[in-house]
Amino acid sequence: MTAKIRVSTDAAPAPAHTFSQGIRKGPIVQVSGQGPVDPRTNEYLFPGDVAAQTTRTLENVKAIVEASGATFDDVVMLRVYLTTREDFSIMNDAYGDFVTAHTTSGVPLPSRTTVFTGLPREEMLVEIDGLAVVSD
C-alpha cells in the first residue's frame, strides 16, 4: 500500500489552517485550494484585479505540483472558484494564458470546473485547487 505524503514548498503560501499544501499518494497529487497570496509574505495580492489574482493563484498551484515531483503537464484537473459571474471572462483569459504558457505543446490542457461562490477572505476574488497524476 502506498503511503500518503504531505507536499510542502516555500514557493507557495504556507497553509493557514489544519491542512496541507498538497498530498501525494502514489502517482496522485491533490493540491489544496490556493489564493492570490505572496509565498514570502503571506499577504493577499492584487485587490480588485481578478486577472492578476488568477495568475498568482496558478503560480502557487504550479509550485505545489512541482514540489510533489510532478510537472504542470501532469495536471489533469483544475477547479476555479470565483466570487462573481462578472469576473468569468477576465479570469478565463488570464487562466488560458497561464495554462497555455506552462503546458508543453501537444499535451492536452487540464480539464476544468468553475464555480461561483463565497470565499474565505473578502479580498479573494479567486481560489484554485488541482489534481495531477505523475507520469511514469
pLDDT score for 118: 96
pLDDT band for 136, please (50, 70, 90 cuts): low
User: Span 122-134, mean pLDDT?
Assistant: 97
Reference 61, options 119, 5, 104, 110; nearest CA is 110
The CA distance from 73 to 14, in Å, is 24
Tens of pLDDT, residues 41-97: 999 999 999 999 999 999 999 999 999 999 999 999 999 999 999 999 999 999 999
Three cell numbers written together for 1: 500500500
Tens of pLDDT, residues 92-127: 999 999 999 999 999 999 999 999 999 999 999 999
Answer for the pair 129, 79: CB distance below 8 angstroms, yes or no. yes
The CA distance from 55 to 94, in Å, is 6
Tell me the sheet residues that pair with 44: 37
Question: Please, which residues have CB within 8 angstroms of residue 18's CB and are 6 or more apart in sequence?
Answer: none
Three cell numbers written together for 114: 468553475
Tens of pLDDT, residues 8-57: 999 999 987 789 999 999 999 999 999 999 999 999 999 999 999 999 99
